[in-house]
Copies of this chain bind each other. A is one copy, B any other.
């Protein structure tokens, strides 16, 4: 319990000091919450956390945050443009692969301006859901015919700008995407994904401008799109820069089969051979794994990014999250295709789908699920000092109101469980990201998000022409 005035940093002169008083706060240890907590923020950092009773004068002057305040959430796997096909891929019988055709129709239409508008609205929807940093797995690099834009990173820059406007931090996980399948040339849509070879990918990635709110990481699209030699180049690039490296791993059985046929090993084994696996590596969709794959990911302390609402939607399957955790891997979360954007739903889905697979309850408790949504996620996209409510951390504070019908009746002793297992994005009421208020009373402070979504999604869909 918080019965002390914790160690505090001194405010920096001439910086804005804001105090928040939280009805309840989850400080990241177990499933306990603290009551009546004062959090002082100087600029973008938390400088003091104290019991409100320890400084009544400051507490009275503080801005009240009613509900449960948790750290900002990290959406570690996003393809922002997929937001445009929400609701539009649910007709007819199909598979992951037929869904991809619909997704490619949109991928073919975007340019830096239209992608900027769509991503701004999508990231603003994320902000409303309590997401304060996004890992954007980005491969829409070039013009539709595959030739680079005048600024080779125009599309990436549009995403970085979009995140700034929406009030989020971004890690641009710039993806190397060279082939249309193992030994297959990129098709008409995939041409805009490809830099030709891994060295040209690396040159372009070196040119991306970072910013206070924006970092760059690397991504290997998949074993389908990147050959082993190129993988090694990307991994080496990421290691040299001490930055995050993400990859789609084993989302569908078909990619495992293709990898076995071509390389006589699983995708995880191929990443291992390419020296990709370490504590900065995130395996996205670590779904169809062998025991050996699990052991490799665990031994290297990799993070496994679960995207369960997408993995349900795309008929991918259920990741072996219990085995991964037991082997030493960490879990993070992503809304991926944005079929829905709700990290509380993603968090509980990790445990609920494990229950479906195992018949057991309680593999991942609410604190572990919230850790995946917050500090583990932030660390996996290169923000190790975010996603925690502690002195010195980036000031991301997400307040979930407790007076909705979903959360009414929750008591302090089960608040974290109640929020994780029954709360939704609609219950997020107030969001501070990097010290700035982004959401107030459930509304984005600068963007009319539904109107922006409607406008940018419609514009994107209207431009679409079937491939």
**B90, A421: Cβ atoms closer than 8 Å:** yes
Once A87-B414, A315-B355 are accepted as A-B contacts, the answer to whether A362 and B94 lie under 8 Å apart by CB is: yes
Q: Is the CB of B453 within 8 A of A408?
A: yes
* Chain B residue with the shortest CB-CB distance to A418: B87
Within 8 A of B (CB), among A409-467: 409-411, 414-415, 417-422, 424-426, 449-451, 453-454, 456-458, 461
A93 on interface, CB distance cutoff 8 Å? yes
Within 8 A of B (CB), among A356-373: 356, 358-363, 365-366
Residue A31 at the B interface, CB < 8 A? Answer: yes
Residues of B within 8 A of A104 (CB): none
The answer to the question of A406 belonging to the interface, with a C-beta cut-off of 8 Å to chain B, is: yes
Task: Given the known inter-chain contacts A408-B453, A454-B409, please indicate yes or no for A312 contacting B88, CB distance below 8 A.
Answer: no
The smallest C-beta distance from A210 to any residue of chain B, in angstroms, reads 28
Q: Known: A87-B417, A362-B93. Is A312-B454 also a contact (CB below 8 A)?
A: no
Q: Is the CB of A340 within 8 A of B422?
A: yes
Cα A426 to Cα B128 with chains together (Å): 14
**How far is it, in angstroms, between the C-alpha of A422 and the C-alpha of B341 when the chains are bound?**
9
Q: Complex formed: what's the CA distance from A415 to B91 in Å? A: 11
- Kindly identify which residue among B353, B359, B417 contacts A91, using a CB–CB cutoff of 8 Å: B417
Cβ contacts A333-345/B at 8 Å (1 or 0 each): 0000001110000
A94 CA to B417 CA, complexed, in Å? 15
Number of A positions contacting B (CB below 8 A): 70
A94 cross-chain contacts in B, Cβ below 8 A: 360-362
Q: Provide the residues of chain B in CB contact with A6, threshold 8 Å.
A: none
- The answer on a CB contact under 8 Å between A449 and B408 is yes
Cβ of A228 under 8 Å from chain B = no
Interface residues of A in 183-205 (CB under 8 A from B): none
Cα–Cα, bound, A450→B422 (Å): 14
User: Which of these, B317, B341, B361, B411, contacts A98 with CB under 8 Å?
Assistant: B361
A269 within 8 A of B: no
Given A356-B312, A408-B454, A449-B405, also A421-B91 (CB < 8 A): no
Q: CA A381 – CA B415 in complex, angstroms?
A: 35
The 9 nearest A-B residue pairs measured at CB: A87-B418, A409-B457, A315-B355, A408-B453, A93-B362, A312-B352, A90-B417, A426-B426, A408-B450
Q: Contacts A90-B366, A315-B360: A405 and B128 contacting too (C-beta < 8 A)?
A: yes
**Beta-carbon contact of B410 and A352 below 8 Å:** no
Is A84 close to B, CB under 8 A?
yes
What are 28 of the A-B contact pairs (CB < 8 Å)?
Answer: A83-B409, A84-B409, A86-B421, A86-B422, A87-B415, A88-B418, A90-B362, A90-B417, A90-B421, A91-B365, A92-B362, A92-B365, A93-B362, A94-B362, A95-B359, A95-B361, A312-B352, A312-B353, A312-B356, A313-B352, A315-B356, A318-B356, A339-B422, A356-B356, A404-B426, A405-B449, A408-B450, A408-B453
